Amino acid sequence: MKGRTKHKMNIGTLNRHTSEMTPQDQRRFFANENGDPLHAAFDKKSAVHPGARGWPLDPESIGEVWSKILAGEGKKEKRAAYFHIPFCETHCLYCGFYLNPFKAGEEENRYVDYIIRELEMVAETPFIKSHPFHAVYLGGGTPSALSHENLFRLLKAIQKHLPLANDCEITVEGRVYHFSDDKVFACIEGGVNRFSIGVQSFDTHVRRKMGRIETGEKVVKRLEYINSLDQTAMVIDLIYGLPYQTMEIWEKDVTKYIELRLDGVDLYQLNIFKKGRLEEAARKKTIAPPADIRMQADMFASGVEIMKRARYRRLSISHWGRTTRERNIYNTLALSGKVCVPFGSSAGGWLDGYFFFQDNRLDGYYRRIDEGDKPIAMSMKQPENNDLFKELAGQMELGRCHLKELGEHYGFELEEIFFPLLEQWEKVGLIKINEGWTELTLAGEFWQVNLCQALIDYFAVVIELQPVNN
Ligand code: SF4
Q: Is the CB of residue 196 below 6 angstroms from any atom belonging to ligand 1?
A: no
Concatenating the DSSP letter of every residue in 111-162 gives HHHHHHHHHHHHTTSHHHHTS-EEEEEEEES-GGGS-HHHHHHHHHHHHHHS
> Relative to the CA of 200, which ligand 1 atom is closest?
1
> Relative to the CA of 211, which ligand 1 atom is closest?
4
Q: Is the CB of residue 239 below 6 angstroms from any atom belonging to ligand 1?
A: no
In SS3 terms, 268-334 reads as EECCCCCCCHHHHHHHCCCCCCCCCHHHHHHHHHHHHHHHHHCCCEECCCCEEECCCCCCCHHHHHH
> Relative to the CA of 212, which ligand 1 atom is closest?
4
Q: Is the CB of residue 88 below 6 angstroms from any atom belonging to ligand 1?
A: yes
141 prior amide bond cis, ω within 30: yes
Judge whether 398 and 450 are in contact, CB under 8 Å: no
Q: Considering the domain 60-335 in this protein, what is its CATH number?
A: 3.80.30.20
Least confident of 144-158, 315-329, 452-466: 452-466
pLDDT reported for residue 462:
81
- Domain coordinates in residue numbering, the chain: 11-52+385-464, 60-335
Cα(90) to ligand 1 centroid in Å equals: 7
Ligand 1 pocket test, candidate residues 84, 87, 91, most atoms within 8 A of CB? 91
pLDDT reported for residue 364:
97
Q: Band of the pLDDT at 203, cuts 50, 70, 90?
A: very high
Q: Is the CB of residue 175 below 6 angstroms from any atom belonging to ligand 1?
A: yes
Judge whether 410 and 450 are in contact, CB under 8 Å: no
Cα(281) to ligand 1 centroid in Å equals: 17
Q: Band of the pLDDT at 25, cuts 50, 70, 90?
A: confident
Determine if residue 309 is left, alpha or beta; phi over 0 gives left, psi from -120 to 50 gives alpha, anything else beta: alpha
Among candidates 328, 208, 174, which has minimal Cα distance to 265? 328
Ligand 1 pocket test, candidate residues 84, 90, 95, 100, most atoms within 8 A of CB? 95
The long-range contacts involving 305-308, CB below 8 angstroms and separated by at least 24 positions, are 306/251, 306/254, 306/255, 306/258, 307/254, 307/258, 307/265, 307/267
Inter-CA distances, 373 with 107, 122, 324, 343, 435, Å: 21, 10, 41, 12, 51
Cα(464) to ligand 1 centroid in Å equals: 39
C-alpha 157/C-alpha 123 separation (Å) is 10
Q: Is the CB of residue 139 below 6 angstroms from any atom belonging to ligand 1?
A: no
Cα(146) to ligand 1 centroid in Å equals: 14
pLDDT at 1 over 60: no
Q: Band of the pLDDT at 327, cuts 50, 70, 90?
A: very high
Q: Band of the pLDDT at 461, cuts 50, 70, 90?
A: confident
What is the tens place of the pLDDT at every residue in 390-426? Answer: 999 999 999 999 999 999 999 999 999 999 999 999 9
Judge whether 362 and 377 are in contact, CB under 8 Å: no
Dihedrals φ, ψ of 392, to 5°?
Answer: -60, -45
List, in order, residues 6 or more apart from 116 with CB less than 8 Å away. 153, 154, 157
Least confident of 17-26, 135-144, 154-163: 17-26
What count of other Cβ atoms lies within 10 Å of the Cβ of residue 249? 17
Q: Is the CB of residue 91 below 6 angstroms from any atom belonging to ligand 1?
A: yes
Give nearest CA residue, ligand 1 atom 6.
95
Dihedrals φ, ψ of 388, to 5°?
Answer: -65, -45
What is the tens place of the pLDDT at every residue in 221-269? Answer: 999 999 999 999 999 999 999 999 999 999 999 999 999 999 999 999 9
pLDDT at 143 over 90: yes
Helix (H) / strand (E) element for 107: namely helix 106-122
What is the tens place of the pLDDT at every residue in 108-121? Answer: 999 999 999 999 99
pLDDT at 51 over 90: no
Q: Band of the pLDDT at 72, cuts 50, 70, 90?
A: very high
35: DSSP letter: S
Cα(210) to ligand 1 centroid in Å equals: 10
CA atoms within 13 A of residue 139's CA, in its CB half-sphere: 16
Among candidates 76, 139, 143, 73, which has minimal Cα distance to 108? 143
Judge whether 250 and 302 are in contact, CB under 8 Å: yes
C-alpha 437/C-alpha 291 separation (Å) is 33
What single-letter amino acid sits at 165?
A
Length of the chain: 470
What is the tens place of the pLDDT at every residue in 341-350? Answer: 999 999 999 9
Give nearest CA residue, ligand 1 atom 2.
141
Concatenating the DSSP letter of every residue in 74-99 gives --SS-EEEEEEE-EESS--TT-S---
More reliable by pLDDT, 344 or 45 = 344
> Relative to the CA of 95, which ligand 1 atom is closest?
6
How big is the chain by its Cα radius of gyration, in Å? 23
C-alpha 30/C-alpha 428 separation (Å) is 10
* Residues paired with residue 438 on neighbouring β-strands, in sequence order: 401, 433
List, in order, residues 6 or more apart from 390 with CB less than 8 Å away. 51, 335, 336, 337
* Strand bridging mode 313-314 / 264-269: unpaired
